[in-house]
Amino acid sequence: MFEEPFRWLEAISTRHSYVQEKLRKGQPVIAVPYNEGTLMLGFSSQPGKIFELYDRIAMGGLGHPADVERLRMTLLDLAHLEGFNRSEKDVTLARLLQFGIAPALKQNFEEVVRAPYLIQLLLMEIDFDNKPTFFRVNYDGHWESFKNGAVIAGDSNLVDVVEKKIAAAGFATMPLDQALLEACRIWESAKQDIEDDDWEDPAPTLKDAFEKWTLEAAVLSTVSPRKAIYRKITDAELETLKSACLS
């Protein structure tokens, strides 16, 4: 009887270790502001890393594709239900996380007989005053908000390095092409700064990344002439970015 709490704590610790190990090899997703909105990008071995979630909300995922898709659909359903029952302006990430997805993730993680979600989520939002906010959601339901950009990655040391570089970069005043280039360079320099036996040797460069993976990128634009302010970065923009990164 008295051993049960300790067994539960041991099981929770094992689940943390298991999920973190599964996420470790995933490529980071970075979200930052720029002078006309917000930008999110990440390298991926298969399509499906960055999505539109609602009119002014976008999401990036790290982890098992099936779990990312399941949570994307859950958030999408919650957003539409909130918009239908209340109003479009009531659909905010803070509400969706606090009263929706975060409690469900926490409950799932603490029920040790169920398989945990193998995910981290990165979300960005532009409110109706055109102010950006960024959110990071963990597999156990813990979430945080950021004003100047955020990152998800399976390595906590890499997260710390990228966050410091984002804070020092001054993204909010950059045009889109410069923000894209700077975010890619932060990805590369952070990889170079982290010494880990599990990384490729030497650490992957942007040249390696463009050859091995696909770069997905999207923006929420405050100057969009359309109601839908989300758009994917075009192939032409990606080619220009690739040329700039490799020059």
Does a structural domain hold residue 15?
Answer: no
pLDDT, tens digit, 9 for 90 and up, residues 203-227:
789 999 999 999 999 999 999 877 7
CATH code, 157: 3.60.20.10
CB atoms within 10 A of CB 55: 15
Mean pLDDT, residues 129-141: 96
* Res 8: pLDDT: 80
* Res 62: pLDDT: 95
pLDDT, tens digit, 9 for 90 and up, residues 222-244:
998 777 799 999 999 999 999 99
Measuring CA to CA, how many Å separate 103 from each of 95, 143, 145? Answer: 12, 11, 16
182: enclosing H helix or E strand: helix 176-193
* Res 196: pLDDT: 53
**80, amino acid identity:** H
Does a structural domain hold residue 16?
Answer: no
Query: Residue 174 is part of which domain span?
Result: 26-246
pLDDT, tens digit, 9 for 90 and up, residues 74-124:
999 999 998 888 888 889 999 999 999 999 999 999 998 889 999 999 999
Quickly tell me which residue has 């009119």 as its tokens.
Answer: 55
Strand, helix or coil at 99?
Answer: helix
Half-sphere exposure of 112 (CA within 13 A, CB side): 13
Strand, helix or coil at 117?
Answer: coil
Closest to 158 measured CA to CA, from 211, 203, 206, 219: 203
- Quote the tokens at residue 125: 């939002």
Does a structural domain hold residue 211?
Answer: yes
Q: Give one word for 208, left, alpha or beta, with left for phi > 0 and alpha for psi -120 to 50.
A: alpha
Does a structural domain hold residue 186?
Answer: yes
Does a structural domain hold residue 1?
Answer: no
Does a structural domain hold residue 11?
Answer: no
Judged against a pLDDT cut of 60, whether residue 200 lies above it is answered with no
Judged against a pLDDT cut of 60, whether residue 201 lies above it is answered with no
Query: pLDDT averaged over the chain?
Result: 91
CB 122 within 8 A of CB 29: yes
Sheet containing strand 50-54, edge to edge, reads: 50-54, 57-63, 119-126, 132-137, 143-146
Integer Rg of the chain from CA: 18
Does a structural domain hold residue 10?
Answer: no
For the packed helices 156-169 and 176-193, what is the interaxial angle rounded to 10 degrees? 140
Does a structural domain hold residue 191?
Answer: yes
Domain tally, the chain: 1
Closest to 139 measured CA to CA, from 29, 12, 7: 12
Measuring CA to CA, how many Å separate 60 from each of 77, 142, 151? Answer: 17, 16, 10
